[in-house]
Chains A and B, each alone.
Chain A
Amino acid sequence: MQRFLDPAVLGAISGLDLVAKTVVDGFVAGLHRSPDFGFSQEFAEYRAYSPGDDLRHVDWNVFARTERAYLKRYRGETNSLLTVLLDASNSMNYTSHGVSKMDYARFTAASLFYLAIRDQRDAAGLIVFDDEVRNYIRPSTRQGQLHRLLSGLEMAEPRARTDFAKPLHHFQEFLRRRGIVLILSDFYESPEKIIRTIEPLRFHGNEVVLFHILDPKEIRPDLGEPVVLVDLETRERLEVTPEYMRTEYRGKIDAHIAALRDGARSAGMDYHLLVTDQPLDGALREYLTIRQGRN
């Protein structure tokens, strides 16, 4: 099933819902667990009965054997609130192979929505932004929510530039209820500014995860000769040489990733680097890990 998580394979699938289903089913099958994972209440522990406890929770079988009353406790199931913040700036359009960063982000978001709504019965919402908020779908568990979210993803075409500061106060308004906030972006901004901008989301009790989406050629560029590079967002031109890209650029991008990861963790947020030629299960696993930790 691993091949169904391969972005290149998913790129050939037309509908996002089918992509999401393929990914999630493949992912879940890979877990070797029940497809109903997390839905039914799970046994957690036994606790001695104390006066005032609900007798309905007493395990009478144990009482019959030991003549002692024990309460059977279950791990409580609560519905989480998932909000995906999707960066739809022009830089997300970059690709060095079949799947652009935007496609990859869409696949990831769709899969997360599918997993959250269909499997976990979580409320899920979407905010598409570039230098301002372009689309907002309120988190909900209503009928047809998945369809709305997938439509929102379909319509999220990259344009304009990334600016975290400007749409931030909108996020504050939208994210009043605590939940899980996943930010999918290539984060072409200084790490300090990104952390400073996103950190307030954490104050509301949200679990914030930065999904840093990069193309493999952005991390390890491979130029055969000097070329003129054009910035997708600013249209600025710059001639660069292969050895610069292989030496100084790599050092800079590695430092940027490291700074972003360290900054996020020190601010209590999770950071996850997603490379567009890697399978999508990393993001799903991260989401489930966080969700489980919240329960």
Chain B
Amino acid sequence: MGFLAPWFLAGALAVGIPVYLHLLRRHTTTPQLFSSLMFLEHRTQSSIRHRRLRYLLLLSLRMALLVLLALAFAGLYVNRPVASASGDKLLLLAIDNSFSMRAGSRLADAKREALSVLGDRNPAQRGQVLAFGSQVNVLTQPVVDAAALRAAVESVAPGDSRGTLGELAHAVRSIAQNVRAPIELHVFSDMQKSDMPANFAELALPEGVSLALHPVVKGTVPNWAVESVNAPGEVWEPKKARVQAVIAGYGTPAATRSVTLMVNGKTIATRSVAIPASGRASVEFQSLEVPYGFSRCEVRIDSADALRADDAYAFAVGRFDPQRVLFVHDASDTRSSVYFISALAAAAESAFAVDSVTTERAVNTQLSPYAFVVLSDVASLPSSFENDLLRYVRGGGGALVAAGTSSARRSRIPVFGESVLEPHYYSREAERFMAVGETDSSFAPAEKAAQWAGVRFYYAVGVDAANSRVIARLTDQTPLLLDKKIGEGRVLLLASGLDNLTNDFPLHPIFVPFVEQSARYLSGTERRGGSRAVDSFLDLRTAKEQAVSVEVIDPAGRRPLSLKEATSTSSYQLTQAGFYELHLANGRQDVVGVNADRRESDLAVIPDDVLSLWTGKPSEKPSAVSSTGPETTHPAVVPRSLWWYVMLLVLAAAVAESLLASRYLGVHREEE
């Protein structure tokens, strides 16, 4: 018997409160004069005595209530022998099916070991089978059926996720809490070093759990792996695209490996790279010749080691034509287009091709081929072009309007449609310039709010922002960046110029991501292709795209989402290595290459002393414990919390106290 939080017992001192109220405070009554006690004789005395007794009952109930509350908070528990807690031991078999178990015959060895342990089991003993990687899969409930247990062991398939012993310990703690019986835990794993949690305490097992480790390998095995690949997800000019790969050796001698770039199963290029002992080397492919559409690419090495699954690194590349952007400016303005085009070229890797035209030449331009249109501080816009542009935006197009000093002469911002209030020439005022005061970081073009800090705005035009969303304001609260939905399309308004005259915005690093994000926002394109890690999540839809069906095709060609999930789920966890094909809610198609976590490629095993520490056995090698039964026996008692019972008593005492108190003290209220 003990307390989990004995300090809460100090709360029992509160019993002094009812004692004071009942016994001490009661006797401080001031005597009152009365005409005659003629009618207050013996009956009165007995009444008081009776009442005192009843008050004592109430007092004891209140004291009991406080003491019980203190006990409940202090976590009263009793130690119960494990054997008597609930019947027999549970045989818990945990088989590691993480990515590293694909090396050699590790998984098969682990399953064979597990079946051997099952064979030695007392037929009446309950068993349960788990498979663990990054998550723990419960393959059976606690059963005595040997066939079911064997089938569960045999059904364990190799996975691509990362093994984590911390997750296993967490799951065992949960199981121990539920089964309330002693557990005999057998872990069949390669005891990979990277499986250890950052904090050793996460491996703690509850009392009553005996642990037996069954390592399937004796020591570290050398392994080469393609650690990472840096390749663009989308390509517009294949000759400019480059692929960089890092080849790593874990516990390996210095060697030369052949690295191959494959596109859709065909070898494109091969390089040789010298990898130092247990080191890394990078290799670069100068071009990425891929056909239009998505291509499934791989960087592969010719290592002949035990773990072949990490000898290839998958990534997807999409090839598309660059999108066209129309940049309209005044004939006198040659600066803004230079800044904008340079920024867009630097940021979006030529995903956009900019056609820069003056307002006069823009009149007869067909707008439909353009992803979006930029109006850079135009003094006058031919009405026919403005009407075409407005129609284009209403039909789903995008426009970026920069309102420089020319806008001050207009009463209304073209396309954006809002009236011009007043221009602010900060350079003529005492402040000389104005900085960005607040930004709406939920909006992609203003995402990196901190980087706006040093930008100076010498001029900004005041615009009626009643019908638009203000994304950024200057420190004098003048709206700087506004977003407005017109029909199906969107218009972004920058209430200053892009020309480095009305501000120094184009000279700041933030200008490049601003232009890129604005371009992507207005054109409606997102990054596609590339590679991801197993166990990462993919966003399938945005908040606005509810009830639109999405489709996921996994590397095995199956559709893992049910029809209901396809219309409702917003993200999907990638559980297998290979290529996933996605049909997203916005109608776009995407392909991503998924690779196992490369920490699994390091096949170094956990040192024996650490394993001994975990098992609680301070002696020799844990490998010797294999199939010899439980080595660790924690004290054969389990604490059984009495919290539930104490709270029941608290409830009963509270009800009784309420009834008594209302009966004794509430009498005079019902009178009169």
Contact = CB atoms under 8 A, between A and B. Distances in A.
Interface stretch (A119-127, A218-226, A280-288): A218-226
Contact of A231 (B34, B44, B671): B34
Interface string A202-234: 000000000000010010000111111111111
A118 B355 CA distance: 126
A237 interface: yes
B43 A227 contact: no
The secondary structure that dominates the B interface is mixed
A253 interface: yes
A234 B37 contact: yes
B35 A243 contact: no
Bin the interface of chain A by size: 20 to 34
Contact of B51 (A91, A226, A233, A237): A226
A94 B37 CA distance: 12
A237 B31 contact: yes
B35 A91 contact: yes
B372 to A, nearest CB: 81
A191 to B, nearest CB: 11
A291 B228 CA distance: 126
A188 interface: yes
Contacts of A186: 35-36
Contacts of B51: 226, 241
Given A229-B31, A229-B34, A244 B668 contact: no
Contacts of A223: 668
Interface string B26-43: 100111111111111001
B46 to A, nearest CB: 10
B37 A242 contact: no
Contacts of B34: 94, 229-232
A248 interface: yes
A246 interface: yes
Interface residues of B, number: 22
B255 interface: no
Interface in A37-51: none
B45 interface: yes
B31 A231 contact: no
Contacts of A236: 37
Contacts of A239: 29, 44-45, 48
A258 to B, nearest CB: 13
Contacts of A234: 37
Contact of A253 (B29, B37, B39): B39
A31 interface: no
A238 interface: yes
B40 A238 contact: yes
Interface in B65-83: none
B240 to A, nearest CB: 94
A249 interface: yes
Nearest to B36: A188
Contacts of B466: none
B39 A226 contact: no
B631 to A, nearest CB: 70
Contact of A225 (B29, B31, B671): B29
A238 B37 contact: yes
Contacts of A91: 35-36
A124 to B, nearest CB: 28
A1 interface: no
A188 B36 CA distance: 7
Chain A contact surface mostly: mixed
B35 A218 contact: yes
B442 interface: no
Residue picked from A186, A188, A239, A243, most chain B C-beta under 10 Å = A239
A94 B47 contact: no
A249 B39 contact: yes
A256 interface: yes
Given A240-B48, A241-B47, A227 B37 contact: no
Interface string A4-25: 0000000000000000000000
A249 to B, nearest CB: 5
Nearest to B49: A239
A96 to B, nearest CB: 10
Interface in A92-120: 94, 101
Interface string A184-195: 001010000000
A241 B48 contact: yes
A248 to B, nearest CB: 6
Contacts of A75: none
B39 A252 contact: yes
Contacts of B43: 244, 248
A226 B38 CA distance: 18
Interface string A248-268: 110011001000000000000
A243 B44 contact: no
Given A226-B29, A228-B31, A241-B51, A246 B671 contact: yes
Contact of A249 (B26, B33, B40, B671): B40
B556 interface: no
A248 B43 CA distance: 9
B667 interface: yes
B39 A94 contact: no
Interface in B624-672: 667-668, 671
B5 to A, nearest CB: 39
B601 to A, nearest CB: 81
A238 B35 contact: no
Contact of A228 (B29, B38, B47, B668): B29
A238 B668 contact: no
A241 B665 CA distance: 11
B37 A226 contact: no
Contacts of A253: 39
B41 to A, nearest CB: 8
A125 B537 CA distance: 112
Most buried by B among A91, A215, A241: A241
Given A241-B51, A248-B43, A215 B35 contact: yes
A160 B47 CA distance: 30
Contacts of B31: 227-230, 237
Nearest to B51: A241
Contacts of B48: 226, 239-241, 244
A292 to B, nearest CB: 34
Given A228-B29, A230-B32, A242 B44 contact: no
A242 B668 contact: yes
B29 A227 contact: yes
Contacts of B671: 246
Contacts of B32: 227-230
A228 B30 CA distance: 7
B605 to A, nearest CB: 78
A238 B44 contact: yes
A256 B35 CA distance: 15
Contacts of B668: 223-224, 242-243, 246
B35 A230 contact: no
Given A238-B44, A241-B48, A252-B39, A226 B26 contact: yes
Given A238-B40, A239-B48, A244-B43, A94 B35 contact: yes
Nearest to B668: A242
Given A226-B26, A246-B671, A240 B44 contact: yes
B462 to A, nearest CB: 71
Contacts of B35: 91, 94, 101, 186, 188, 215, 218, 231-232
Given A226-B48, A226-B51, A228-B31, A243 B667 contact: yes
A229 B37 contact: yes
Interface of B: 26, 29-40, 43-45, 47-48, 51, 667-668, 671
6 contacts: A225-B29, A240-B44, A241-B51, A244-B44, A248-B47, A252-B39
Given A94-B35, A241-B51, 11 more contacts: A91-B35, A228-B32, A229-B37, A230-B33, A231-B37, A238-B44, A239-B48, A240-B40, A241-B47, A244-B44, A249-B39
A-B complex: 8 closest residue pairs judged by Cβ atoms: A252-B39, A94-B35, A229-B34, A188-B36, A228-B31, A91-B35, A231-B37, A244-B47
